[in-house]
Amino acid sequence: MLLLHGWTATADLNWFAVYETLGQHFRVISLDHRGHGRGIRTRKPFRLADCADDAACLLSELGIKKVIPVGYSMGGPIALLMWRRHRAVVDGLMLCATAGSFAHSRGERMGFLGLTGMGALARLTPPTAKEWLTERLFLRRKASKWGPWAMSQIELHDWRMVLEAGQAIGNFSALEWLPEIDVPTSHIITLRDPVIPVHRQLKLYSEIPQAKAVRIDGQHDAIVALAPSMGQMIVDGVNSITERNSSERAQVSQ
């Protein structure tokens, strides 16, 4: 499985609490997306499609021909784009606390538009101003809630790229092509999620043919706060994907 983390996280920050559980059942690969943690740095604007291409390139470098992407939050669109752009390597999709589109209302669109302006500011200001922007907008406000290790992960970010990632999420919509998805798909829906509303998660699930879903009574941080349950749900969801693939292949061989 290929673990695709959420916005403003890193691979380790998103998945550390379930690495051991997942590793008992599968070969697990994870990466930091562009601008996040130790991810790729570039002057080009952030694009979710580039993150999908990065993931496919990583698989090629590792000699891996088939994978099940596990997308959490922003990682969901990246997983969907991996299917759309690199269908040959995708054996199924495991989608967690995510959606097929993110900004519908005027308020939501204006919120993502604000990230566009901050991203431009981070691109144009000198290094000292960028450091102020990073601390002022994000790190200082969260320092009291997160431990030193989590802070050390966040401090690795290129915040200009992270802000542009927020804009990219707001602009993303796969609703037109979700019905074309032709690989087994499993979903975990976080029922008390203040970040990705349940109706958005259910819309994603309902648009993908023959998808299967489970629900967890948790918020957007369920991958950490409810790690034992989330880890087992991911294991079960991926096993369901492999079982459906085996069944389809058996039918074809007959």
Residue 158: name the closest of 56, 38, 5, 78 by CA: 38
Query: Rounded to the nearest 10 degrees, how much is the dihedral formed by the CA atoms of 117, 118, 119, 120?
Result: 50
Work out whether the CA dihedral 75, 171, 194, 99 comes out positive or negative: negative
Decide: 167 and 69 in contact? Cβ < 8 Å: no
Within the chain, how many helices (H) and strands (E) appear? 12, 6
DSSP characters over 80-141: HHHHHH-GGGB--EEEES--SB---SHHHHHHHHHHHHHHHHHHHS-HHHHHHHHIIIIIHH
Those residues with Cβ within 8 angstroms of residue 64's Cβ, 6 or more apart along the chain or in another chain: 29, 89
Q: Which residues contact 57 (CB under 8 A, 6 or more apart)?
A: none
pLDDT at 154: 81
Q: Are 184 and 240 in contact (CB under 8 A)?
A: yes
Q: What is the pLDDT of residue 109?
A: 46
State the pLDDT at residue 8.
Answer: 86
H or E element in which residue 71 lies: strand 69-72
Domain range annotation of the chain = 2-102+173-253
Are the C-beta atoms of residues 55 and 2 closer than 8 Å to each other? yes
Strands of the 2-4 sheet, one edge to the other: 29-31, 2-4, 69-72, 93-96, 185-190, 212-216
Q: Residue 54: its pLDDT value, please?
A: 98
pLDDT in tens, 94-133: 999 999 998 765 455 444 444 444 444 445 555 554 554 5
Tokens at 128, concatenated: 């000292």
Q: What is the mean pLDDT of each run of 10 residues along the chain (254 residues)?
A: 94 95 98 96 96 98 97 97 98 97 60 45 51 49 65 84 89 96 98 93 97 96 94 98 89 68
Task: Give the separation between CA 133 and CA 138, rounded to whole angstroms.
Answer: 8
Question: What CATH class has 2-102+173-253?
Answer: alpha beta
CB 173 within 8 A of CB 200: no
pLDDT at 92: 98
Cα–Cα distance, 247 to 241 (Å, whole number)? 10
What pTM, to 2 d.p., does this model score? 0.88
Q: What is the pLDDT of residue 105?
A: 53
